[in-house]
């Protein structure tokens, strides 16, 4: 047993349960909850994480009734038949020594369905449906449905429920004057608005008795106009504790808030001080959450007395064995969640099954299995970008004899550039993970070695993951000294002038614009402690105007913006809105950063030439103009590097081409890593 994380690994009595350590897996809607036929997959998903050592898990949200559905026919806990179907899941989790709670979530006006109800009639900015206000009888009926869900969860074998009282769902809609315009006993004053969750807790407790955990997820910082003050939050917590709550989980920000709370540019542990404040307010245990993704940070929070438990949801998608690895002293082998949202929340919001960019097995535990290879065949992986690294790690973990060849002096491929973008420092963690795993698995990694076909003789399989090269512009002046590629800029090989044009507004063009605004990389060692607001909580709070909720209602203050380091012009040929192709849960954050930095955006342009005057374009309305800049950075996509294919095919190699070498268009790390692991499973 490792002694390096004594607080994280120590047991804790919570309600009637003894938790084996301080790690709780927070709720994450995977999409498997919505259909009973997916219960076997959901069971495999939770069982793998229970086996991986987590103390307690919370399911994705289950609505107590039809009106509370997030989506039409979404996950519901409203019948004994459904409860009985969950028995296999809870038994399997218990057999692995973990506990599991059912999260009960009423979406209120966030429901993407026509039956939506809220405290008062209103429409949220994130659903096209207008909610009708619940009548007084409707409020009573809804509370009764929460009680029923709790009773059924107990019947299903769950150890308790989590009452979802954060992120802007129905309970918040009752608590906040923003959405609650009632004048009856459920509204009118802050105290009366608190009666709704208070009654839910009181009646649930009366129904289920003491041998059933009642966990309440409380919003510590609403980040919306008309949200709660800290005094109101503290009063609510004390009343809920008196009503029967055993443990508080914490949540930050309503979904409609325009301040990011979980994306990768939010500093790690940004909200931990608020859980510490809640802990001083109540007598029951408190769980810290949001942007906690490493054992070191969890240990720091627990050791400092800032929380009794730590919740991680996405980090356990990324690595189901998180807790076991900590216990075995193998923390450096944890696959860290980089908070990209690309395969989890972006999928959830697109109504697709959630998975994980760095662990494509998440949510597909029954389909994508890495069994022991029948023979120790030799596998050469050429290229150590995300696709090659993922393939090499997964193949070696199956027992195949893998060797990696990388032409550059360091591994990482396109990730080496991504991790230098301010706010994307986390990408360095993925490279650190692969580096360590390949070392542990004894995989020879030949860096600085451009493999030629003869070097690859004798391998049973050759995996070509040679990636991409930046597209070169076909334009008069494309070779002008002011022009540079994005790798030249991001690695510091070239220094831009004060005024910069960025050609191409895809994911990389937007990243490059943010890099220019910040004046350089935000990265120091392992993604921490650099300049820039992405690693400094106070600077980040100032940049987004996040205030102390004890001073400003709901934590909404005034943003203080730094002077941008460059004047940035971002251009694309398409007429669509810039950044349209970015992730659903992250794109708005990038668009806000461009706006904050005063980036001048051009759509529908034709590029004509580059010369000493700058970039000559024709704008969408047919006018010619010169964008007067000192430098031009080309972010016009990539082309596949497949130089070895013909030679290897001529030699009869068993060749597999993956990642950007396979298809460069719209390549992202999610596809690259998934392709790498899927291939490794088949070799
Ligand atoms: P991209 O998204 O394909 O964007 C490249 C842009 O360059 C295109 O949108 C295109 O826009 C423009 N372009 C293409 N050919 C051109 C030419 N010959 N001359 C001038 N402009 C040209 O590629 P990327 O930005 O390099 O990103 C690569 C991959 O990484 C993408 O799949 C992206 O999703 C992923 N990525 C994702 C994120 C993220 O946050 N999720 C961040 C970075 C990268 P126009 O034709 O309209 O000008
Ligand atoms: Fe974390 Fe990204 Fe995986 Fe989601 S997809 S769990 S944010 S690494």
Q: Locate tokens 């100032």: which residue? A: 542
CB 578 within 8 A of CB 608: no
Over the stretch 166-200, which tens digit does the pLDDT of each residue have? Answer: 999 999 999 999 999 999 999 999 999 999 999 99
Over the stretch 249-260, which tens digit does the pLDDT of each residue have? Answer: 999 999 999 999
Cα(357) to centroid(ligand 2), Å: 5
Cα(256) to centroid(ligand 1), Å: 28
pLDDT at 1 over 80: no
Q: Pick from 49, 338, 527 the residue to mutate for probing ligand 2's pocket: most ligand atoms within 8 Å of its CB.
A: 338
Mean pLDDT over residues 435-461, rounded? 96
% of residues, the chain, pLDDT over 70 = 98
The closest of 627, 620, 561, 567 to 592, measured between CA atoms, is 561
The closest of 176, 312, 182, 192 to 256, measured between CA atoms, is 176
Smallest-distance ligand from the CA of 363: 2
Establish whether residue 337 lines the binding site of ligand 2, counting it when its CB lies within 6 angstroms of any ligand atom: yes
Cα(282) to centroid(ligand 2), Å: 32
What is the SS3 assignment for 142-183?
Answer: HHHHHHHHHHHHHHCCCCEEEEEECCCCHHHHHHCCCCCCCC
Q: Pick from 45, 312, 313, 314 the residue to mutate for probing ligand 2's pocket: most ligand atoms within 8 Å of its CB.
A: 314
Over the stretch 313-343, which tens digit does the pLDDT of each residue have? Answer: 999 999 999 999 999 999 999 999 999 999 9
Ligand 1: list residues with CB < 6 Å: 342, 471, 473, 503-504, 506-509, 511, 572-574, 581-583, 586, 635-638, 666-668
Cα(539) to centroid(ligand 1), Å: 30
Over the stretch 9-41, which tens digit does the pLDDT of each residue have? Answer: 999 999 999 999 999 999 999 999 988 899 999
Over the stretch 227-241, which tens digit does the pLDDT of each residue have? Answer: 999 999 999 999 999
- 10 Å CB burial of residue 280 (0-12, 13-18, 19+) is exposed
Q: Locate tokens 């973008």: which residue? A: 421
Upper half-sphere CA count for residue 523 (Cβ side, 13 Å): 21
pLDDT band, residue 423 (cuts 50/70/90): confident
Establish whether residue 683 lines the binding site of ligand 2, counting it when its CB lies within 6 angstroms of any ligand atom: no
Cα(409) to centroid(ligand 1), Å: 26
What's the pLDDT at 34?
Answer: 87
Mean pLDDT over residues 424-450, rounded? 95
Mean pLDDT of the chain: 94
CB 128 within 8 A of CB 88: no
Over the stretch 480-506, which tens digit does the pLDDT of each residue have? Answer: 999 999 999 999 999 999 999 999 999
What's the pLDDT at 464?
Answer: 97
What is the distance between the alpha carbons of residues 676 and 389, in angstroms, rounded to a whole number?
8
What is the distance between the alpha carbons of residues 125 and 518, in angstroms, rounded to a whole number?
31
Over the stretch 96-146, which tens digit does the pLDDT of each residue have? Answer: 999 999 999 999 999 999 999 999 999 999 999 999 999 999 999 999 999
Nearest CA to ligand 2 atom 2: 340
- What are the structure tokens assigned to 272, written together? 């931990």
What is the distance between the alpha carbons of residues 510 and 532, in angstroms, rounded to a whole number?
17
Cα(485) to centroid(ligand 1), Å: 13
pLDDT at 526 over 70: no
Report DSSP state, residue 108: G
Coil, helix or strand for 359? coil
Over the stretch 536-587, which tens digit does the pLDDT of each residue have? Answer: 889 899 999 999 999 999 999 999 998 999 999 999 999 999 988 898 899 9
What's the pLDDT at 239?
Answer: 98
Establish whether residue 12 lines the binding site of ligand 2, counting it when its CB lies within 6 angstroms of any ligand atom: no
- What are the structure tokens assigned to 627, written together? 């964008």
What's the pLDDT at 527?
Answer: 40
What's the pLDDT at 531?
Answer: 37
Mean pLDDT over residues 255-284, rounded? 94
Smallest-distance ligand from the CA of 28: 2
Query: Closest ligand 1 atom to the C-alpha of 590?
Result: 40
Over the stretch 669-683, which tens digit does the pLDDT of each residue have? Answer: 999 999 999 999 999
Helices (H) and strands (E) in the chain, counts: 22, 28
Q: Pick from 418, 636, 660, 675 the residue to mutate for probing ligand 1's pocket: most ligand atoms within 8 Å of its CB.
A: 636
Where would I find the H helices in 179-334? 190-193, 195-208, 230-243, 272-281, 295-303, 314-318, 322-327
Beta bridge partners, 163, equal 104, 216
Smallest-distance ligand from the CA of 571: 1
- Cβ atoms within 10 A of the Cβ of 457, count? 11
Cα(435) to centroid(ligand 1), Å: 28
Coil, helix or strand for 455? helix
Establish whether residue 22 lines the binding site of ligand 2, counting it when its CB lies within 6 angstroms of any ligand atom: no
Smallest-distance ligand from the CA of 583: 1
What's the pLDDT at 529?
Answer: 38
Q: What distance, in Å, lies between the first and last C-alpha atoms of the chain?
A: 35
Cα(636) to centroid(ligand 1), Å: 6
Select which of 169, 216, 417, 607 is catalytic.
Answer: 169
The closest of 464, 447, 458 to 641, measured between CA atoms, is 464
pLDDT band, residue 349 (cuts 50/70/90): confident
Establish whether residue 546 lines the binding site of ligand 2, counting it when its CB lies within 6 angstroms of any ligand atom: no
Nearest CA to ligand 2 atom 6: 314
Q: Pick from 476, 506, 639 the residue to mutate for probing ligand 1's pocket: most ligand atoms within 8 Å of its CB.
A: 506
pLDDT at 605 over 60: yes
Establish whether residue 338 lines the binding site of ligand 2, counting it when its CB lies within 6 angstroms of any ligand atom: yes
What's the pLDDT at 534?
Answer: 57
Smallest-distance ligand from the CA of 293: 2
* Maximum distance among all Cα pairs of the chain, rounded to whole angstroms: 81
% of residues, the chain, pLDDT over 90 = 90
Mean pLDDT over residues 272-299, rounded? 96
**Is position 169 annotated as part of the catalytic site?**
yes
Measured CA distances, 615 to 494, 497, 651 (Å)? 18, 14, 47
Establish whether residue 28 lines the binding site of ligand 2, counting it when its CB lies within 6 angstroms of any ligand atom: no
Cα(318) to centroid(ligand 2), Å: 6
Lowest mean pLDDT among 1-5, 486-490, 545-549, 604-608: 1-5
- What are the structure tokens assigned to 376, written together? 């120790």
Establish whether residue 317 lines the binding site of ligand 2, counting it when its CB lies within 6 angstroms of any ligand atom: yes
The closest of 443, 298, 472, 290 to 381, measured between CA atoms, is 443
pLDDT at 530 over 50: no
Q: Pick from 337, 349, 430, 672 the residue to mutate for probing ligand 2's pocket: most ligand atoms within 8 Å of its CB.
A: 337
What's the pLDDT at 351?
Answer: 87
Smallest-distance ligand from the CA of 578: 1
Nearest CA to ligand 2 atom 8: 337
Q: Locate tokens 């893998």: which residue? A: 402
Q: Locate tokens 């009118």: which residue? A: 188
The closest of 149, 164, 106 to 131, measured between CA atoms, is 106
Query: Closest ligand 2 atom to the C-alpha of 344?
Result: 4
Over the stretch 359-400, which tens digit does the pLDDT of each residue have? Answer: 999 999 999 999 999 999 999 999 999 999 999 999 999 999
What's the pLDDT at 520?
Answer: 82
Establish whether residue 358 lines the binding site of ligand 2, counting it when its CB lies within 6 angstroms of any ligand atom: yes
Coil, helix or strand for 376? coil
SS3 percent helix, strand, coil of the chain, rounded to 5, is 35, 20, 45
């Amino acid at each position: 047993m490792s002694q390096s994380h004594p607080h994280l690994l120590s047991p804790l009595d919570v309600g009637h349960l003894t938790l084996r350590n301080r790690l709780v897996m927070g709720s994450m809607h995977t999409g498997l909850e919505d259909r009973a036929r997916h219960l076997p997959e959901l069971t495999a998903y939770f069982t793998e994480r229970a086996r991986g050592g987590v103390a307690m898990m919370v399911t994705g949200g289950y609505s107590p009734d039809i009106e509370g559905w997030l989506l039409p026919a979404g996950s519901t806990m409203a019948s004994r038949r459904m409860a009985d179907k969950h028995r296999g899941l809870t038994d399997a989790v218990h057999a692995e020594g973990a506990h599991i709670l059912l999260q009960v979530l009423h979406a209120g006006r966030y429901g993407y369905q026509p039956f939506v109800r809220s405290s008062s009639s209103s429409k949220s900015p994130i659903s096209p449906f207008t909610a009708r206000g619940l009548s007084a009888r409707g409020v009573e009926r809804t509370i009764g449905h929460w009680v029923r869900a709790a009773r059924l969860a107990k019947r299903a074998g769950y150890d308790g429920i989590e009452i979802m009282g954060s992120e802007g769902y129905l309970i918040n809609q009752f608590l906040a004057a923003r959405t609650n315009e009632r004048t009856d006993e459920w509204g009118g004053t802050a105290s009366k608005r608190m009666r709704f969750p208070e009654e839910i807790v009181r009646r649930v407790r009366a129904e289920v008795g003491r041998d059933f955990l009642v966990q309440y997820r409380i919003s510590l910082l609403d980040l919306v106009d008309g949200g709660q003050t800290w005094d109101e939050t503290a009063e609510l917590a004390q009343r809920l504790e008196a009503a029967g709550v055993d443990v508080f989980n914490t949540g930050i920000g309503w979904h409609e808030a325009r301040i990011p709370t979980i994306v990768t540019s939010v500093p790690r542990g940004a909200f931990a001080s608020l859980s510490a404040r809640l802990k001083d307010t109540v007598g029951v245990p408190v769980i810290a959450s949001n942007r906690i993704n490493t054992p070191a940070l969890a240990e720091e929070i627990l050791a400092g007395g800032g929380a009794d438990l730590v919740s991680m949801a996405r980090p356990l998608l990324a690595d189901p064995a998180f807790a076991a690895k900590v216990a075995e002293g193998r923390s450096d082998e944890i696959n860290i969640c980089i908070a990209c949202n690309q395969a989890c929340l972006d999928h959830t919001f697109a109504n697709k099954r959630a998975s994980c960019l760095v662990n494509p097995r998440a949510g597909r535990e029954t389909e994508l299995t890495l069994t022991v290879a029948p023979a120790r065949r030799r596998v050469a992986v050429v290229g150590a970008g995300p696709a090659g690294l993922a393939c090499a790690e997964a193949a070696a973990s199956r027992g195949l004899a893998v060797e990696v060849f990388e032409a550059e002096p360091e591994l990482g491929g396109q990730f080496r550039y991504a991790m230098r973008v301010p706010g994307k420092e986390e990408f360095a963690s993925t490279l650190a993970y692969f580096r360590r795993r390949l070392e542990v698995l004894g995989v020879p990694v030949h860096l600085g070695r451009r493999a030629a076909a003869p070097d690859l003789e004798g391998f049973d399989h050759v995996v070509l993951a040679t990636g991409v090269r930046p597209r070169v512009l076909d334009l008069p002046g494309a070779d002008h000294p002011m022009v540079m590629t994005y790798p030249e800029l991001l690695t510091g090989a070239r220094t831009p002038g004060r005024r910069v044009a960025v050609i191409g507004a895809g994911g990389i063009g937007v990243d490059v614009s943010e890099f220019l605004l910040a004046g350089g990389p935000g990265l120091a060692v392992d993604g921490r402690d650099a300049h820039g607001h992405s690693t400094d909580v106070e600077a980040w709070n100032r940049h987004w105007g996040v205030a102390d909720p004890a001073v400003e209602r709901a934590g909404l203050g005034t943003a203080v913006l730094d002077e941008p380091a460059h004047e940035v012009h971002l251009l694309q040929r398409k007429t669509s809105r810039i950044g349209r192709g970015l992730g659903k849960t992250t794109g708005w954050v990038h668009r806000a950063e461009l706006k904050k930095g005063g980036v001048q955006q051009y759509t529908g342009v034709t590029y004509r030439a580059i010369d000493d005057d700058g970039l000559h374009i024709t704008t969408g309305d047919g006018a010619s103009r010169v964008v007067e800049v000192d430098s031009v950075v080309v972010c016009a996509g990539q082309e596949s590097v497949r130089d070895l294919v013909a030679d290897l095919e001529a030699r009869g190699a068993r060749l597999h081409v993956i990642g950007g070498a396979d298809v460069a268009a719209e390549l992202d790390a999610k596809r690259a890593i998934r392709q790498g692991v899927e291939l490794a499973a088949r070799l």
